């Protein structure tokens, strides 16, 4: 999302919808069977990898048309980390550990030299989520251990924990540099010449919030929890997080704007980012018996879930209630290649929230199951499986194909396995 879209959205409209719907066989998903879910996820993951992975295409490794989105590769690898844990299928483990190590950069913080000049805070965050996921699921550290440089003392500079902390420190430093406007907040871009430098937005501040909250829960270190609270309070004060927990896209600090007006667009990954951060704060406080704070964060988790349900689960087709959709762009077929991926974030973080906030597991599972059946039904079952963009389309596959759509379908289906997976680790029992 760092780059401005140079593709006209209309240019990706499907050309052959009518032709194709006549012979498409949808994937049939039985949400009560872990075997069925695993097999369906495996089919979708394999075509995601076979179609888009190209080790020489970009340093992010997943090939996409211009403007290629480095952050999307980071999201793709996070999905495959989850996939590996959820299914016990290690097919992609070597490739993903290689890709993560190649994109770390000299500061071990996912700011590699190749991306310099246009990498934005949110791009970085989407790779940091991979490190946090590897940490929480106990993946082997990147080999070899780098013993010198920044990082957490007592661990390698490129340990998963060090990487996440290094990026956290980057964000905190940039927040301080940006604090002259709007009473705080991270800018979208951290390079002043980049387009979007004056945008203080939800995916960026939500990304910092979630990173801090996950570090707080994992380490138990109150410094991270204090930051998470500060970022959350700022987001609410400035209006990125609304009073009904709707999450709005961004605000500006250009000239005298001082974040006085809000871009009210709602995208599913924004509410998802805050939802999972709030779930981690709920768990952090719960683990420490800080019940007043736990109640507060529980209300926020419920608030974000309610806003997500109200905004992203009522597609226009009458019989598709409860099916996740990207309301800003799916009905007009104007989703860009990164916007089609946003549902993968919502599926991923609703599922992880169910793990951390058990009282929400059942309602979350209901929404995930309905959507996963529809997502699977949107995939063609003719050789290499391709999943569509509109899961609420009654005819199955809608003829739309891209990395983001495939990624969203994968995360949607595999999210049903989250409760069978090992729990999310912490450094030490509280």
* Complex with ligand NAG: residue 117 or 366, whichever CB lies closer: 366
User: Residue 277, SS3?
Assistant: helix
Q: Which residues sit opposite 379 in a β-bridge? A: 387
User: At its nearest, how many Å lie between ligand NAG and the CB of residue 23?
Assistant: 27
Instruction: Supply the minimum distance, in Å, between the C-beta of residue 116 and ligand NAG.
Output: 19
Based on C-alpha coordinates, what's the Rg of the chain?
20
Q: Rounded to an integer, what distance in angstroms lies between the CA atom of residue 323 and that of residue 176?
A: 41
Eight-class DSSP state of 416: G
Alpha-carbon distances, residue 2 vs 108, 282, 385 (angstroms): 20, 31, 29
Contact predicate 303/239, CB 8 Å: no
Q: What is the DSSP string of 191-231?
A: STTSTTTTEEEHHHHHHHHHHHHHHHHHH--HHHHHHHHHH
Pick the closer one to ligand NAG by CB: 290 or 395: 290
- Give me the residues that bind ligand NAG (CB under 6 A), please: 34, 38, 54, 56-57, 63, 87-88, 165, 182-183, 221, 223, 258, 309, 314, 363, 366-367, 420
DSSP for 360-414, please give it.
GHHHHHHHHHHHHHHHHHTB--SSS--B-S-TT-TTS--S---HHHHHHHHHHHH
Rounded to 5 degrees, φ, ψ at 199 are: -100, 120
Residue closer to ligand NAG by CB (options 75, 370) is 370
DSSP string, 77-125: HHHHHHHHHHH---TTHHHHHHHHHHTSTTTTSS--GGGTTT-BHHHHH
Return d(Cα 380, Cα 26) in angstroms, integer. Answer: 5
Nearest residue by C-beta to ligand NAG?
183
Stated length of the chain: 430
The residue (of 20 and 228) whose beta carbon lies closer to ligand NAG is: 228
List C-alpha distances in Å: 428 to 204, 316, 355, 358. 29, 47, 18, 21
Q: Considering the complex, state which of residue 88 and residue 319 has its C-beta at the smaller distance from ligand NAG.
A: 88
In angstroms, give the least distance from the CB of 19 to ligand NAG.
25
Supply the minimum distance, in Å, between the C-beta of residue 165 and ligand NAG. 5
Provide the minimum distance between the beta carbon of 357 and ligand NAG in the complex, in angstroms, as a whole number: 13
Give min distance, CB of 24 to ligand NAG, in A. 25
Q: What is the dihedral of CA 72, 76, 81, 83, to 10 degrees?
A: 150
Residue with tokens 């793990």: 355
C-beta closer to ligand NAG: residue 226 or 265: 226
Q: How far is the CB of 209 from ligand NAG (least distance, A)?
A: 15
> To the nearest whole angstrom, how small is the minimum distance from the Cβ of residue 197 to ligand NAG?
18
* Minimum CB distance to ligand NAG smaller for 391 or for 397: 391
Q: How far is the CB of 232 from ligand NAG (least distance, A)?
A: 15
Of 138 and 183, the one with the shorter C-beta distance to ligand NAG is 183
Nearer CB in complex with ligand NAG: 155/221: 221
């Amino acid at each position: 999302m760092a780059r401005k879209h140079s593709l006209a959205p209309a240019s990706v409209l499907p050309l052959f919808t009518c032709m194709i719907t006549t012979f498409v066989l949808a994937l049939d998903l039985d949400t009560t069977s872990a075997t069925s879910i695993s097999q369906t996820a495996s089919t979708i993951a394999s075509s995601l990898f076979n179609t888009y992975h190209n080790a020489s295409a970009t340093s992010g490794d997943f090939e996409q048309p211009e403007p290629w989105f480095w952050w999307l590769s980071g999201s793709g690898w996070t999905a495959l980390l989850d996939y590996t844990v959820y299914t016990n299928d290690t097919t992609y483990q070597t490739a993903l550990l290689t890709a993560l190590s190649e994109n770390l950069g000299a500061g071990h913080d996912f700011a590699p030299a190749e991306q310099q000049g246009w990498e934005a805070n949110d791009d970085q965050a989407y790779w940091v989520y991979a490190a946090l996921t590897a940490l929480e699921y106990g993946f082997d550290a990147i080999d070899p251990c780098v013993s010198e440089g920044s990082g957490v003392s007592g661990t390698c500079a490129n340990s998963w924990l060090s990487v996440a902390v290094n990026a956290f420190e980057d964000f905190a430093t940039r927040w301080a540099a940006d604090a002259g406007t709007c009473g705080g907040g991270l800018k979208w871009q951290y390079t002043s010449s980049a387009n979007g430098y004056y945008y203080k937005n939800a995916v960026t501040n939500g990304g910092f919030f979630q990173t801090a909250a996950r570090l707080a829960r994992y380490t138990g270190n109150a410094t991270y929890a204090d930051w998470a609270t500060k970022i959350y309070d700022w987001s609410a004060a400035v209006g990125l997080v609304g009073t009904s927990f709707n999450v709005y896209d961004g605000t500006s600090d250009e000239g005298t704007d001082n974040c006085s007006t809000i871009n009210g667009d709602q995208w599913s990954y924004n509410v998802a980012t805050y939802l999972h951060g709030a779930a981690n704060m709920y768990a952090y406080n719960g683990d420490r018996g800080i019940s007043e704070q736990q109640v507060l964060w529980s209300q926020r988790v419920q608030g974000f879930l309610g806003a997500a349900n109200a905004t992203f689960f009522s597609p226009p087709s009458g019989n598709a209630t409860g099916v996740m959709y990207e309301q800003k762009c799916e009905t007009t077929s104007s989703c860009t290649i990164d916007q089609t991926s946003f549902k993968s974030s919502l599926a991923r973080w609703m599922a992880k929230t169910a793990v951390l906030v058990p009282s929400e597991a059942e309602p979350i599972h209901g929404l995930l199951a309905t959507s996963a059946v529809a997502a699977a039904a949107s995939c063609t079952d003719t050789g290499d499986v391709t999943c569509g963009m509109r899961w609420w389309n009654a005819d199955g596959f809608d003829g739309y194909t891209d990395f983001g759509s495939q990624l969203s379908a994968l995360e949607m289906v595999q999210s049903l396995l989250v409760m069978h997976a090992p729990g999310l680790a912490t450094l030490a029992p509280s």
